[in-house]
Amino acid sequence: EVCRLNAQRRQVLNEFLQLKGNIRVFCRIRPTVNGEKFSHQRPVVPADSSGILVNFSEKKRKLYNFDMVLHPGSTQDEVFSEIEPVIKSALDGYNVCILAYGQTGTGKTFTMEGNPDCPGVVPRTIEALFKQAADSNHTYLFSFSMLEIYLGQLKDLLIPHARKANDPMPTCLSIQTDPNGGIVIDNLVAIQVSNLNHAISLYRLGSQLRSTASTNSNKISSRSHCMIRMSMTCSDATERRKITNKIWMVDLGGSERVLKTKALGRRFEEGKAINLSLSALGDVINALQRKNSHIPYRNSKLTQVLKDSLGEDSKTLMLIHVSPKEEDLCETVCSLNFALRLRNIHLGKTEPNEARVMREEAMTNLQHEMQEIENNR
Ligand code: ADP
Ligand code: MG
> What's the pLDDT tens digit per position in 34-81?
778 766 678 888 888 888 999 888 788 899 999 899 999 999 999 999
Mean pLDDT computed over every residue of the chain:
83
Burial 110-145 (b: 16+ CB within 10 A, else e): bbbbbeeeebbbbbbbbbbbbeebeeeeeebebbbb
For residue 51 and ligand 1, the question of a CB distance below 6 A is answered with no
CA distances to 36, 254, 264, 322 from 39, rounded to whole Å, are 10, 26, 31, 18
The alpha carbon of 106 and the centre of ligand 1 are apart by a number of angstroms equal to: 6
For residue 107 and ligand 1, the question of a CB distance below 6 A is answered with yes
The pairing of beta strand 44-46 with beta strand 314-322:
unpaired
Residue nearest to atom 24 of ligand 1 (CA): 31
Taken as a whole, the chain contains a residue count of 377
Instruction: Over range 229-244, report the average pLDDT.
Output: 83
Kindly report the number of other CB atoms within 10 A of residue 50's CB atom: 14
Residue nearest to atom 12 of ligand 1 (CA): 107
Question: What pLDDT score does 362 carry?
Answer: 63
Q: What's the predicted TM-score (pTM) here? A: 0.84
The alpha carbon of 33 and the centre of ligand 1 are apart by a number of angstroms equal to: 8
Question: What pLDDT score does 123 carry?
Answer: 97
Q: Do 158 and 189 meet the contact criterion of CB atoms below 8 Å apart?
A: yes
The alpha carbon of 369 and the centre of ligand 1 are apart by a number of angstroms equal to: 41
For residue 9, pLDDT over 90 is answered with no
For residue 29, pLDDT over 90 is answered with yes
Residue nearest to atom 19 of ligand 1 (CA): 107
Q: What is the ipTM of this complex?
A: 0.99
Question: Whole-angstrom Cα distance, residue 299 to residue 304?
Answer: 8
Ligand 1 atom, smallest distance to 102 CA: 3
The alpha carbon of 154 and the centre of ligand 2 are apart by a number of angstroms equal to: 18
> What's the pLDDT tens digit per position in 325-376?
988 999 999 999 999 888 754 433 333 344 445 555 666 777 777 777 777 7
Q: Do 275 and 263 meet the contact criterion of CB atoms below 8 Å apart?
A: no
For residue 160 and ligand 1, the question of a CB distance below 6 A is answered with no
Closest by CA position to 121, among listed 95, 86, 91: 86
Poorest-confidence range of 91-105, 125-139, 300-314, 341-355?
A: 341-355
For residue 99, pLDDT over 50 is answered with yes
Cα angle 139, 144, 149; round to 5: 145
Q: Whole-angstrom distance between the N-terminal and C-terminal Cα of the chain?
A: 13
Q: Which ligand has the minimum distance to the alpha carbon of residue 148?
A: 2
